[in-house]
Chain A
Amino acid sequence: MDCSHVFEFKVNRLIVVFALFLAFFSVTPAAFAQVDSLATDSTHAETKAEKKFDIGKFALHHIADSHSWHVIGHTYINLPVILYTPNGLVTFSSGEFNHDDEATVVVERNGQRFVKMHEKIYYASEVANAHGQYVELDEKHHALNKRPLDLSITKNVCTLLLSVLVLLAVFFNVASGYRKRKGKSPKGLQSWMEPIILFVRDDIAKPNLGHKYERFMPYLLTVFFFIWFNNMLGLVPFLPGGANLTGNIAVTMILAIATFGITVFNGNKYYWKHIFMPDVPWWMYIVMVPVELFGIFTKPIALMIRLFANITAGHILVLSLICLVFVFNSLYIAPISIAFAVFIGAIELLVAFIQAFIFTILSALFIGMAIEEHH
């Protein structure tokens, strides 16, 4: 199959330009941070401990999943904790941890004791360590305690459910538009979504899948809109958004596994022949077969990492720019960091669409390679 059209696509050239741009800006805050820490070291050595602002920790905390949803100031929505333990299902509000994230507050349920550290729930140790933490730590401050099976409704799960509801509401509405105005021109939400549906069909599915495209349309459309909606929802900094769902490896892993499964289960004999008996001299099989087998797995893994890394990087970038204020410890830097954050935010809007597009077109490409007929 000819894949060249993917790389000729204008958007990809745009991505390259923006990637270089992003790379430049992602380096800059780190350099600033270093300068700042040097300055702090020399001038305010005595207040270093309280002034020191760890931008990396802050950003990672914000892009990670959470058991509570920050609304504003000290207001949080406490999400339910659901744990599957040997003693049965344990449920309680995450509010019981009292916003502790360093394993100092123990919650006892069904004769089991739990602590929360870095948004992960552990079985608490019998006694606290020197810092009052009920966990054992290794030298890198990672908890060594065992973890129960965590099925909690976290921030990401909430966003996931919300996005599912939004997608269902939007597309049921669109579908009802087609039922109501049968054969007529689209209206409202329907006319907004139709070009995108047609884009997925005509520019993603048809060129890659050929005449058998219709079978894979439900998957491609679902995956495209799921990624796109969630990317956009992630860009909203306040309540309904703010979670980093498509920048979470678990989510992108499931999406990549879906593409992988469809590719493997729809692969025809030509596809498998190409992998196990490629048209090369037999002694080349020693190299080719492992490489091809490896290729089956690297493709979905690349899909998984690409989406995760792009969205996470975008979030980190915006957070870092905002954090410039705290890094410089000056309000005068705010206009600059806001201007940059707005600029990156605008690019992230574009990236939200492009990443959904790339995930979908590459899925279509991989499926297309598996179902391609050779004559």
Chain B
Amino acid sequence: MELLLPEFGLVIFQSIAFLLLMFLLAKFAWKPILAAIKEREQSIDEALNKAELAKQEMARLTSQNEELMKEARAERDSILKEAKTLKDNILTEAKTQAHSEGAKLIEKAKIEIENQKKAALAELKNQVSTLSLDIAERVLRNQLQDKAKQEDLVANLLKDVELN
């Protein structure tokens, strides 16, 4: 039973010591300790949040990069395509031009040949006529050397005339 009766002295000492302990610990230990723990927890949370944000930013940047790459690729493709069509156009144009030019040249050449041929024929005709006149002169000259023959000829010519 004596155990259940609090001793006055110990009650006094315990009250004073406990209050003093609580006051000192609260002021010099619990306050800074809890504040430091809270601060650290907050800084950890903050760091984690920041890391999460950085991750999101990275993802965003990566997707943006991909987008840019895609765009660049598409642009390159379109440029290449454009260039190809341009090249094709130029080629076909050149070809048609060459064709038409060739045709023109051929046409010209043909006309020239025709002209030359005509000129040549005309000259040939002239030459032939000259030659024939010459030959005729010479033949006439030969035949008209004797009198008999001259008379024959005249006779013949006259005959022709009479016929007309």
Contacts and interface: CB of A to CB of B under 8 A. Distances in A.
Interface string A137-154: 000000000000111101
Contacts of B8: 149-151
B34 A201 contact: yes
A227 to B, nearest CB: 11
A63 B10 contact: no
Interface string B33-46: 11011011001000
A312 B30 contact: no
B33 A254 contact: no
A250 B29 contact: no
Nearest to A254: B14
A157 B9 contact: yes
B53 to A, nearest CB: 20
The binding surface of chain B is classed by DSSP as helix
B12 interface: yes
- By size class, the interface of chain B is 20 to 34
A346 to B, nearest CB: 25
B161 interface: no
A222 B36 contact: no
B29 A64 contact: no
A151 B12 contact: yes
Contacts of A258: 18
Contacts of A217: 30, 34
Interface string A249-267: 1110111001000000000
Interface in A173-202: 174-175, 178-179, 182-183, 194, 197-198, 201
Nearest to B30: A218
Contact of A250 (B11, B32, B33): B11
Interface stretch (A46-54, A163-171, A232-240, A278-286): A163-171
B36 A178 contact: yes
B3 interface: yes
A172 interface: yes
B43 A222 contact: no
A156 B36 CA distance: 35
A214 B2 contact: no
B17 interface: yes
Contact of B2 (A118, A178, A219): A118
Contact of A154 (B10, B17, B36): B10
Nearest to B18: A254
B20 to A, nearest CB: 7
Interface in A207-239: 214, 217-219, 221-222, 226
Given A167-B21, A226-B18, A197 B26 contact: no
B17 A160 contact: yes
A161 interface: yes
A255 B14 CA distance: 9
Given A197-B37, A201-B34, A254-B14, 17 more contacts: A65-B10, A151-B8, A160-B10, A161-B13, A161-B17, A164-B17, A171-B28, A172-B28, A172-B29, A174-B29, A174-B33, A197-B33, A218-B31, A219-B22, A249-B3, A250-B10, A258-B18
Interface of A: 60, 63-65, 82, 118, 149-152, 154, 156-157, 160-161, 164, 167-168, 171-172, 174-175, 178-179, 182-183, 194, 197-198, 201, 214, 217-219, 221-222, 226, 248-251, 253-255, 258, 312
22 contacts: A150-B7, A151-B12, A154-B9, A160-B10, A167-B21, A171-B25, A171-B29, A172-B29, A178-B36, A183-B36, A183-B39, A197-B33, A197-B34, A217-B34, A218-B25, A219-B22, A248-B6, A248-B10, A249-B3, A250-B10, A250-B14, A254-B14
